[in-house]
Amino acid sequence: MNIQTIIKMLTDAGIEEREAKKEVKMLLEHFCNYTEKDEILGHPLTEEHLNIVKGKVEARLADRTPVQYIIGESYFMGEFFKVTHDVLIPRPETELLVTKGIEIIKENNLDSVLDIGTGSGCIACTIAKKTSATVLGVDISSDALRIALDNVTRLGINNRAVFRKSDLFSKIRAEERFDMIISNPPYIPKGTELEPELRHEPSIALFAEENGLQLYRKIVSEAPDYLNEGGWLIFELGIGESDAVKSFMDEYFEGVTVEKDLNGIDRIIYGKMI
Ligand code: GLN
């Protein structure tokens, strides 16, 4: 057995070669402490390394569990976040959202951010780590919040990112105001057939009513009550949702802008309260 045999187990199961190689690399690094550096230095892979990775690949393929859940961690914007089946695995697309959010925060010296549907806390923690703003992350799921709390401790930013159980704005006090509201809400239209890996993620984090638009509509209509004057709202978008979300936002926000991801899909939208 060599590493190619293990990569082939994944590609034979229909996983793209690039993804398969990435996953094997992640497993080697996590379970065998064998890093890219070892590869560059020509350190040989032992039979024990290969057996460990093979076992993990078998578990991965048995029920198509995403590799990040097997490892229990996912890389996002320079940090490893704890993930379990209670939270969505942070996506590369969400890095675009957070990068833009950070740019707006820095350009406008924003101090306070509300992250709605914080999940693993990847958005809240990254903003707290990379800007001087304080972040409140809310989620309807206590199980998700437990993971977010572990992540904020891991990153050592406990006093700058805080969390609260809240169904959207339900537990935000009437007098609380933020300079920015950011969210990657569930946006897949309910009833959509998903690839097997996605079925391991919490459906509450994935699906939304109203063709995927329900949470955007609700958040947009309530956001003005919780934003400071000239505050910002920024979302990640599901495929084909930009026109509808823009029309919701145009009512209360100006300069509403849509930006595409690397695949040319409208992926983020932001605007400033009128
Ligand atoms: N905010 C989290 C993320 O972007 C979770 C989003 C969600 O569960 N819809 O990964």
Q: State whether the beta carbon of 145 lies less than 6 angstroms from ligand 1.
A: no
pLDDT at 14: 96
CA–CA dist 199, 101 (Å, integer): 29
Q: Which residue's CA is the nearest one to ligand 1's atom 10?
A: 90
- Give me the amino acid identity at 8: K
Q: Which residue's CA is the nearest one to ligand 1's atom 7?
A: 205
pTM above 0.75, yes or no: yes
Positive or negative CA dihedral for 165, 166, 168, 171? negative
Determine the atom of ligand 1 nearest the C-alpha atom of 183: 1
Work out the pLDDT band at 76, boundaries 50, 70, 90: very high
Q: State whether the beta carbon of 238 lies less than 6 angstroms from ligand 1.
A: no
pLDDT at 158: 85
pLDDT at 198: 96
User: Which residues are CB-contacts of 8 (< 8 A; sequence separation ≥ 6)?
Assistant: none
pLDDT at 159: 87
Q: State whether the beta carbon of 137 lies less than 6 angstroms from ligand 1.
A: no
- 227-236 and 266-273: which strand pairing? antiparallel
Work out the pLDDT band at 203, boundaries 50, 70, 90: very high
Q: In a mutational test of the pocket of ligand 1, which residue from 68, 81, 86, 87 has the highest number of ligand atoms less than 8 Å from its CB?
A: 87
Which pLDDT tens digit goes with each residue over 150-166?
Answer: 999 999 998 899 999 99
Would you state the structure tokens that stand for residue 233, as one six-digit string?
């709202």
Would you state the structure tokens that stand for residue 70, as one six-digit string?
């097997």
Mean pLDDT of 198-216: 97
CA separation (Å) from 271 to 1, 181, 216?
A: 54, 10, 13
CA–CA dist 74, 87 (Å, integer): 11
Q: Which residue's CA is the nearest one to ligand 1's atom 8?
A: 205
Would you state the structure tokens that stand for residue 57, as one six-digit string?
């690949």
Which pLDDT tens digit goes with each residue over 136-154?
Answer: 999 999 999 999 999 999 9
- 188-189 and 134-139: which strand pairing? unpaired
Work out the pLDDT band at 215, boundaries 50, 70, 90: very high
Q: State whether the beta carbon of 231 lies less than 6 angstroms from ligand 1.
A: no
pLDDT at 196: 94
pLDDT at 207: 97
pLDDT at 106: 98
Mean pLDDT score of the chain: 97
1 has pLDDT over 90: no
